[in-house]
Amino acid sequence: MNLCDLLSKEVIRIPLKNTEKNQIIEEMVDLLAQNNKLKDRNMVLEAVLDRERVMSTGMGDGVAIPHAKSDGVETLVIAFGITIKDVDFKSIDEKPVRLIFLLVGPVDQTGPHLKALSRISRLMHRKEFRDRLANARNSEEVIEAITREEQKYFSM
């Protein structure tokens, strides 16, 4: 599974309009809903916010991956956004966030959800890649950067 197989330009927003964590999550859920990626927008939003209340998904280095499993989706869905300014996401390194991947998978499909989380986490550990994404001006540049990085590190 490649992230670019799941990510399309319609579900990438640069910049995100909101500047507060829960509003950003809602904006990204709405982006998925507007592009017919969700069965139930409210169910998905509730699941992601519930997960965020348990423990922040701010993974450090300016990256957050809010995620959840929900009956509000039929298949694994991903959205990506870059904030207009630093956002306090209560990250583990206590640093603000600018790069956000939102990931929602069906309740009965754990494998793809975990694989996508793992793949995003591994890619985002490279500073050069994070910088390339942070400097992307549009969705095409995001998709190109992710495609190139996946080919470099995950192709056999």
Residue 116: which of 60, 61, 154 has the closest Cα?
Answer: 154
Domain around 12? 3-154
- The mean pLDDT of the chain is 94
pLDDT at 29: 98
Segment (H or E) for 142: helix 139-154
pLDDT in tens, 83-135: 999 999 999 999 999 999 999 999 998 888 899 999 999 999 999 999 999 99
The token pair that represents 89 in the structure block: 């996401």
CB contact at 8 A, 75 and 48: no
Instruction: Identify the CATH number of the domain in which residue 35 sits.
Output: 3.40.930.10
Assess whether pLDDT exceeds 80 at residue 156: no
Answer whether 68's CB lies under 8 Å from 4's CB.
Answer: no
Q: What is the spatial distance between Cα 144 and Cα 72, in angstroms, rounded to a whole number?
A: 29
> How confident is the model over 66-85, as pLDDT tens digits?
999 999 999 999 999 999 99
Residues 117/67, Cβ–Cβ less than 8 Å: yes
The average pLDDT across 21-25 equals 97
Residues annotated as part of the active site = 67
Q: Tell me the pLDDT tens digit for each residue of 47-60.
A: 999 999 999 999 99
Question: What is the pTM assigned to this prediction?
Answer: 0.94
Percent pLDDT > 90 in the chain is: 87
Other Cβ atoms closer than 10 A to 85: 9
Number of domains in the chain: 1
